[in-house]
Chain A
Amino acid sequence: MTSTQHRTTVWPWIVMAVAGLHTFVASMTVSPDVVQGQLSRIMYVHVPAAWLAYLAFGVTMFASAMYLWKKDFRWDRRALASAEIGVLFTALAIGLGMIWAKPTWGVWWTWDARLTLTSIMFFVYLGYLALRRTTDNLDVRAARSAIFGVLAVVQVPLVHFSVIWWRTLHQPPTLLNPEGPAMDTAMVITLLIAVASFTVIYVAMMFKRIELARLEDEVLVADQTSSGPVAGQAVTAPGLTKGS
């Protein structure tokens, strides 16, 4: 925990930039959809963002379960990193869906089952991040958030199967359709490239976010073990002398 060796890893930044550029080039060069026109290109960022939300929250659940089993803080940090990145990609999936919905459905938002459940999932994981800020005790924080991380994953299948279980405006699964992808082969390949590139971005982000979580824990431990003033520089502990 109090390791003083801090190596700077640069490769995740390079990987993120290359994967981002890769997605952009692939999605801008594929032919547009016959029905949706150029708007179909939004799918190449919307679908990967939604997929990464699933993946990230699945990893949070796995890492949380591993923490409860092993009591190793490295799993707690992995769970945190994945949850935070998952919140980012859930927000992106919702935002990109809204940008697509306005010109195609005519509205930014509708209380459709998929949209509503995705926004609930977003707020549940925001709650996970808020829960971690309720205490500075590393053991208590890790245990509470691990239980939350295991339970909250129930959101993922609810969101994914919402378009099958309920009558929704949102279209059924694109790639994970039980009857196979209902798309042109070139579009499927482009979508798979975008999904793979976003997954690479997620892995690279995980490396840096876990590094940050380790450093933040070291700062917390250093603050708790330092023997400074009681409440900052302006306030010092009162002298407890006999008779005072």
Chain B
Amino acid sequence: MEYANEWNWVLLAYGVTYFALVVYASSIALRISRARKRLGGPS
């Protein structure tokens, strides 16, 4: 069975997945950095 623009849907799914993982990992790194600054330690 053929579906229209199959690769577009695949790219959308992988784009959403990796974007979400990178954004979440970055948010953890940013919050760690902020907390360390609040505690007076190195960021």
Contact = CB atoms under 8 A, between A and B. Distances in A.
7 contacts: A16-B25, A37-B3, A41-B13, A45-B17, A85-B24, A103-B6, A205-B28
Interface in B1-43: 1-7, 9-10, 12-14, 16-18, 20-21, 24-25, 28-29, 31-32, 35-36, 38-39, 41-42
Contacts of B12: 99
Interface in A182-215: 201, 205, 208-209, 211-212, 215
A71 B39 CA distance: 25
A216 interface: yes
A2 B31 CA distance: 18
Contacts of B24: 85, 88, 205
Contact of B25 (A4, A208, A211, A216): A208
A163 interface: no
A173 interface: no
Given A16-B25, A36-B3, 15 more contacts: A38-B6, A38-B9, A39-B9, A42-B9, A45-B14, A85-B24, A88-B20, A92-B20, A99-B13, A100-B13, A103-B9, A104-B3, A201-B21, A211-B32, A212-B31
A37 B20 contact: no
Given A6-B41, A219-B39, A35 B1 contact: yes
Contacts of B10: 38-39, 41-42
A241 to B, nearest CB: 34
Contacts of B31: 212, 216
A100 B16 CA distance: 12
Contacts of A100: 9, 13
A120 to B, nearest CB: 21
